[in-house]
Amino acid sequence: MRVLIETDPQAVALRAAALVEGLVRSKAGCVIGLAAGATPLALYAELTDRRRSLDFSRATVFGLDEYLGLDGAHPASCALTLRAHFIDKAGISPARTHLLDGMAQGDLAAYCAAYEERIRAAGGLDLQILGLGVNGHIGFNEPGCGLAGRTRLVGLRRSTRATNAPIFAPAPVPEAALTTGIGTILEARRIILLATGPSKADAVAKMVEGPVSALVPASALQLHPDAVVVLDEAAAAGLALARDYRDEAAICLERGGIAAI
């Protein structure tokens, strides 16, 4: 796991955008998994900024998760967030866009298995973009989940529902969701996780420096050979080895440039 500590949320977005840009320019037909939380939105704004002149027309994208019971037009749906903030602006065609359907009916296990098959048929994920929940979740893989899980139906923990309550107010937060599993996430060739703000500091410390545990699902990223965690100063405040992470990143940038990260 590579840890990059930037000064503020905008610097986090810029660093992450540089990493994604490197992939898109080297592999036009890349396959990217997209998270719909609040933190990655600044990254998506950077990637679709005209100054970067990035061509996503041959890229294929997969949504990370979706609330059960929400259609793709619901203002709080992951699908609408991804379309409005990235997919439509990037010009990615519907044929190359794969999003979990919160209104899926019938055999949800079969539906989720078919979603996994779509990822495999696309050649697997070159990159998975992630945010981090305050309770350590990634996607909707909540504390106590299995670390080898696949795309499936899950229940949302009270802590997640409380955090997301302002998005739905005055309506209640859905109690369930569809999510790609940690096993699915770990099969991505590269993972970039973004976390900003003091509310994420405890989860970041447990994810990076704590034991790998189902109680902190994001800690499973310690097992990935190419996971990059991009933090601002506030989110990194609880890291015991913050100075060492800065020194390591500086060495890699000096010796190998952005490609070394």
Annotated catalytic sites, by residue? 65, 135, 137, 142
**Max CA separation in the chain (angstroms):** 54
- Note the helical H segments in 152-193: 158-168, 182-186
Stated as kind and residue range, the H or E segment containing 23 is helix 9-26
CA distance to 7, 12, 19, 112, 179, per residue, from 108 (Å): 43, 36, 35, 6, 11
Return d(Cα 194, Cα 96) in angstroms, integer.
Answer: 24
Q: Find out whether the peptide bond into 9 is cis, omega within 30 degrees of 0.
A: no
User: DSSP of 130-141, one letter per residue?
Assistant: E---TTS-BTTB
Return d(Cα 102, Cα 144) in angstroms, integer.
Answer: 23
* Strands 176-179 and 152-155, sheet pairing: antiparallel
Phi, psi dihedral angles at 15 (to 5 degrees): -65, -45
Return d(Cα 157, Cα 201) in angstroms, integer.
Answer: 19
